[in-house]
Amino acid sequence: MKRFHIALAVANLDESIADYSRRLGQPPAAVVPGQYAMWRTDLLNFSINEKPGQAGQLRHVGFEDDAVEGYSSNVDVNGLEWELFSAKEQDARIVGTYGVPVGR
């Protein structure tokens, strides 16, 4: 499966989880309290990081694609970072960066 990925900075993780869960119609697939949350819908991989000084800013975009091995990142002509990764790779990177998410 291939999903578009978008990552945002938010002011308050808990408030943002409640808001985006309503908007996306489902709870996040992974939550690291006080730091990170990620949703996987049929079309979208959406993640947020609590970074109050950057709230509302786009962090990066890309694609989650299970046909891809590993992880890659590059910058487009406008300076925007694009990532490419599989769901398995993203899950491993979440654990490696933040520790095991709640509920796993």
Cα–Cα distances in Å, from 96 out to 28, 44, 71, 87, 89?
19, 22, 14, 14, 10
Which residue has tokens 């990081």? 49
> Is residue 104 scored above 60 in pLDDT?
no
Going from N- to C-terminal start, the domains of the chain cover: 2-94
Amino acid identity, residue 20? Y
Q: Given pLDDT bands bounded at 50, 70 and 90, which one contains residue 8?
A: very high
Q: pLDDT at position 41, please?
A: 95
CATH topology assigned to domain 2-94 = 2,3-Dihydroxybiphenyl 1,2-Dioxygenase; domain 1 (3.10.180)
The pTM assigned to this predicted structure is: 0.87
Q: Which of 45, 53, 52 is nearest to 28 (CA)?
A: 45
Residue 33 · residue 47 · CB < 8 Å: no
User: How does DSSP classify residue 77?
Assistant: T
